[in-house]
Each structure stands twice: as C-alpha cells, then as structure tokens.
C-alpha cells in the first residue's frame, strides 16, 4: 500500500503501481488506467528512455500538494538493472526495482513489512543480473541530494467525473474475488497486463540466427516465447457465470483452463469449452497461435546445464534433469572379443523446473537450448517441463 515517507524537508510517496507508454499519455489514457488499477492519484514520469505513470489510491488526510514520487526520483540514479531495499523504520521497508530503459517494474515500488518486501523480491528473482543497493533513510537522503533533476509530482485524479463511483464498483468486484479465494489470480493478471505493456515499449529486436544443423530443438518455440504466450492465454477473469478457474496448463501449441462449477452456477450459462459428463467442470482449450520453430541456439550440453543450474539456484528455484540418449546416437553392439565401444555422449536432458512464483514474466533466453513442452500448476507453484538440447 502506498504511503508518505519524510526524507529531509520533503515528503515522498512510495508504493505505487507503474505502467509504461510508447507516447506521453493523455488524460483519457490516465483515466482508463486509473480505473483499471483502482486508483485516484498518479505521477507521470517522462524520462530519456521510457515514459511511465505511477498509480495509487488517495491517502486519507494527505494532500498531493508538494508530494512527489520516490521511485521516479531515484529510477535513473543507479546503474541498471538495479534493485534497492531500504529500511525506513522498525518493521517498515521500501523496495524498488528498475530495469531496461531505467523503467520501474509494474510491481517494483513496494512499501511494507519484511514479509511483503521479500515477496516482492521473490517475484523478480527470475532476473539474475541485478545490481543491489541496501540502506536506510540516511542513504536515501544522500542519493536524492546527488540528483539534479526535478522530482515527479503526485497529482489527484479525483476530479474526473464518475471516477470515484467506477473505483468503488471495481473494489466490490475485487472483494468478491477474494471471498472465493481467487484474489491471487486477479493480482497476477493485473501485474501481467502491466508487464506486457512495458515489454511492448522496451522490447528490442533480436537478430535471427539460422540453424547450423538439423536438431529437434528448432521444432519447438523458444521457452520465453511459450511462457509469454501461455500467460496471455490464461490471464482470464477468475469467475464467469459463477464458474471459477480451477486449474490451468499449457503445452507447446495450446493452453487449457479448467473451470469448476460453484453454488448458483448452472450449465445453461457457462464458459466456452467441453462440459464434463457430471456437469461440474468445463475444459477450455485456447490455441496459442505460436510458431513451432526457433533458431538453433545449442551449446555443449554440459555448459547449457551449468547455466540452467546456476540460473535456477540464483533464483531460488529447483531444477532436475534426466539425461537422454537418442536412438540414432546408439552404436551397434561390438563383436565377441572386440573392445567395447564407449557409451554415446548424451545430447539432451529432460528437465523439470519448479518455481514458486508466477512464471509468465521469467526470461529464459540466457539458457541456450532450453525448450518447454508443458507448463503446469503444482502445489504452491508451477512446474516448467521440457528438454535441454545440447551438442
């Protein structure tokens, strides 16, 4: 939740949700995003490399006059990508995460207790190249003193007609979702939508690499592409006609959402999909429309596995593997009395990566030869199942 931090003689607002834009947003765009994010205050940040707006609810008894965004002030101050954790007072910390183009991540401006701050860092643990900054109020004050740019002011949107009523209605919907135990899904969908907008503005073209040899790896989409496509497909309202999302998964070409009937729901009004024989579930299949081809990015299998293992360990994930030897790699049996041939060197591993965070924003592009075949919900997290191809 956003709140005010007093640093020196100036008041700063921390704990906003950030969205990125290709061009400077007009009032209508800010109005729409404020409604979507259940907010009444905003801060428009126009930097050299990115344009962003932060949003939060109005704070009771606090006026926006001479109130400024702390994250916007510091985003350009350090070598990117960087994240900072600052102790404000006993049991209160501020967390900030800044990446490509000095953009504040959508959920990279968090003010809260120790547990909330660690949860925020865990959400970004898929990135392994952070520059870390840890400190307190005194360090924050020193960092601000070294910045010449003007601070980004907080502005109220409460004067927009009907905005309060719209937000009140959105709040009722959010509470209803929480009551049925699905509020986590709503938050993840909101975060994913904001991240997708940021990627659209920050994405850079990657030169195409032509395959140098025939390999099954080129007949699957890249792992990151599949994660993103899966995330877009399964980001749905948690409830439709009283049917709730019970399970989701993705294969290389389709996503599957299982809807469960709850009290008051009937088969007359239900989500799209195949109804189970007992009328209690609907299975919806969504075509990912994803190219089933990719460039050959293989490296020696042992090196690829080391990179996957290092990435998973740094992120706090669990990766397991089983070596596979293709039938075509097996040599004929030796004749009686002859020296046995050495066992063929495996060129691929079946892998399973267990993560405890939403996987759809993970960047797996630094793991050559990794191809995912299934993305499944598991107890307390997700399983990313696939093959690591090497040479």
Q: What would the DSSP string read from start to end of 260-328?
A: EE-TT-BTTB--SSEEPTTSSEEEEEEE----S--------HHHHHHHHHHHHHHHT-EEEEEEE--GG
Q: Tell if the pTM clears 0.75, that is, is over it.
A: no
Q: Which of 1, 5, 36 is nearest to 19 (CA)?
A: 36
> Measured between alpha carbons, how far is 14 from 5 in angstroms, rounded to an integer?
7
List pLDDT tens digits, range 199-215.
565 554 444 444 444 58
> Measured between alpha carbons, how far is 18 from 291 in angstroms, rounded to an integer?
31
Please report whether residue 54 resides in a domain.
Answer: yes
Percent of the chain, pLDDT > 90?
A: 46
Question: Do 362 and 227 contact (CB within 8 A), yes or no?
Answer: yes
Average pLDDT, the chain: 81
Please report whether residue 228 resides in a domain.
Answer: no
Judged against a pLDDT cut of 70, whether residue 291 lies above it is answered with yes
Per mean pLDDT, which range of 46-60, 171-185, 258-272 is the poorest?
A: 171-185
Structural domains in the chain (count): 1
Question: Do 315 and 307 contact (CB within 8 A), yes or no?
Answer: no
Q: Residue 68's pLDDT is what?
A: 96
The answer for residues whose C-beta is within 8 angstroms of residue 179's C-beta and 6 or more apart is none
Please report whether residue 373 resides in a domain.
Answer: no
Please report whether residue 75 resides in a domain.
Answer: yes
Please report whether residue 268 resides in a domain.
Answer: no
Residue that the structure tokens 């949700």 belong to? 17
Please report whether residue 277 resides in a domain.
Answer: no
Q: Which of 54, 28, 339 is nearest to 198 (CA)?
A: 54
Q: Which of 300, 325, 165, 184 is nearest to 245 (CA)?
A: 184
Burial 229-248 (b: 16+ CB within 10 A, else e): bbbbbbbbebbbbebbbbeb
Per mean pLDDT, which range of 65-74, 86-95, 151-160, 210-219 is the poorest?
A: 210-219
Judged against a pLDDT cut of 90, whether residue 96 lies above it is answered with yes
Average pLDDT over residues 249-266: 92
Question: Do 110 and 83 contact (CB within 8 A), yes or no?
Answer: no
Chain centre to alpha carbon of residue 349: 26
Per mean pLDDT, which range of 206-210, 240-244, 356-360 is the poorest?
A: 206-210
Please report whether residue 237 resides in a domain.
Answer: no
List pLDDT tens digits, range 110-166.
999 988 998 888 888 766 678 889 999 999 999 999 998 899 999 998 754 443 444
Please report whether residue 372 resides in a domain.
Answer: no
> Measured between alpha carbons, how far is 209 from 224 in angstroms, rounded to an integer?
16
By residue range, what is the domain housing residue 81? 3-181
């Amino acid at each position: 939740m956003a709140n005010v931090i007093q640093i020196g003689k100036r008041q700063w607002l921390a704990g906003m949700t950030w969205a990125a834009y290709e061009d400077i947003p007009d009032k209508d765009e800010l109005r729409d995003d404020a409604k979507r994010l259940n907010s009444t205050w905003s801060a428009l940040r126009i930097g050299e490399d990115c344009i962003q707006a932060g949003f939060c609810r109005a704070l009771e008894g606090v006026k926006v006059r001479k109130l400024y965004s702390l994250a916007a002030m510091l985003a350009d101050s350090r070598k990117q990508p960087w994240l900072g954790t600052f102790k404000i007072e006993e049991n209160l910390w501020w967390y900030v995460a800044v990446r490509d183009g000095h953009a504040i991540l959508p959920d990279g401006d968090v003010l809260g207790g120790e547990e909330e701050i660690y949860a925020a860092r865990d959400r970004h643990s898929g990135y392994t190249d952070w520059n870390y900054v840890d400190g307190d109020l005194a360090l924050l004050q020193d960092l601000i003193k070294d910045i010449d740019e003007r601070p980004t002011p907080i502005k109220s949107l409460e004067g927009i007609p009907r905005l309060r009523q719209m937000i009140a209605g959105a709040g009722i919907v959010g509470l209803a979702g929480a009551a049925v135990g699905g509020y986590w899904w709503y938050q993840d969908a909101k975060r994913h939508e904001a991240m997708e907008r940021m990627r659209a503005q920050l994405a850079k073209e990657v030169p195409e690499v032509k395959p140098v040899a025939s390999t099954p790896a080129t007949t699957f989409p890249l792992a990151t592409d599949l994660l993103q496509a899966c995330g877009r497909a399964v980001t749905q309202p948690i409830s439709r006609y009283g049917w709730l999302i019970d399970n989701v998964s993705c294969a290389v070409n389709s996503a599957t959402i299982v809807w469960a009937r709850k009290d008051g729901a009937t088969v007359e009004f239900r989500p799209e999909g195949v109804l189970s024989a007992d009328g209690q579930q609907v299975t919806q299949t969504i075509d990912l429309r994803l190219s089933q081809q990719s460039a050959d990015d293989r490296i020696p299998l042992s090196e690829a596995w080391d990179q996957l293992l290092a990435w998973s360990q740094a992120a706090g994930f669990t990766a397991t593997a089983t070596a596979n030897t293709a039938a075509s790699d097996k040599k004929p049996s030796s004749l009686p009395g002859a020296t046995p041939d050495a066992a063929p060197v495996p060129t691929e591993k079946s892998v399973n990566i267990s993560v405890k965070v939403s996987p759809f924003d993970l960047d797996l592009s630094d793991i050559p030869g990794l191809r995912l075949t299934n993305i499944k919900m598991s107890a307390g997290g997700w399983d990313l199942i696939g093959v690591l191809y090497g040479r």
